[in-house]
Amino acid sequence: MAKKILIVEDEPFTIKLYTRLLTSEGFEVTATPETKEAARLAKTIKPNLVIVDMMLQDGDGFDVIKDIRKIPEFKKTPILVLSNLGQEIDINEAKKVGANQYLVKSNVKFEEVIETVKKMLKV
């Protein structure tokens, strides 16, 4: 059975790109640009991993991570932040609220993101 990934990202190009890349690797991908939709979708699809951008049009990734971590069944679900916010303070705050891994978009290749996802899911 395919591992499920939820992407919370407001940039349509990034959603399309990572949906295509992850689907081609055998993952089942669902994406939303809305912070308020993220927790509801998580409850519905029960993802094995969540990828979150920090800068979203209707809020921020910190709130998304907090909302997902409040749901008991997602206390241990891996959360990968993929964002252009690269300040140490942002990275530390994301990890403090529950992110497991933090990658700065402009500093990583697509392949590295895919490899990180695979490592986090142990596949």
CA–CA dist 123, 81 (Å, integer) = 19
Q: Is 31 exposed, middle or buried (0-12, 13-18, 19+ CB in 10 A)?
A: buried
In degrees rounded to 5, what are phi and psi of residue 33?
-90, -5
Tokens 């809020």, located at residue: 59
- Write down the pLDDT at residue 2: 93
The verdict on pTM exceeding 0.85 is yes
| Contact assessment for residue 56 and residue 10, using Cβ atoms and an 8 Å cutoff | yes
| pLDDT in the model for residue 1 | 84
Amino acid at 109: K
Query: How far is residue 64's CA from residue 24's CA, in Å, rounded to a whole number?
Result: 26
User: CA 87 to CA 104: how far, in whole Å?
Assistant: 9
pLDDT tens-digit profile, the chain (123 residues): 899 999 999 999 999 999 999 999 999 999 999 999 999 999 999 999 999 999 998 999 999 999 999 999 999 999 999 999 999 999 999 999 999 999 999 999 999 999 999 999 999
Return the domain boundaries, the chain. 4-121
Q: Tell me the CATH number of domain 4-121, given options 3.40.50.2300, 3.40.640.10, 3.30.720.200, 3.80.10.10.
A: 3.40.50.2300
pLDDT at residue 114, as a whole number? 96
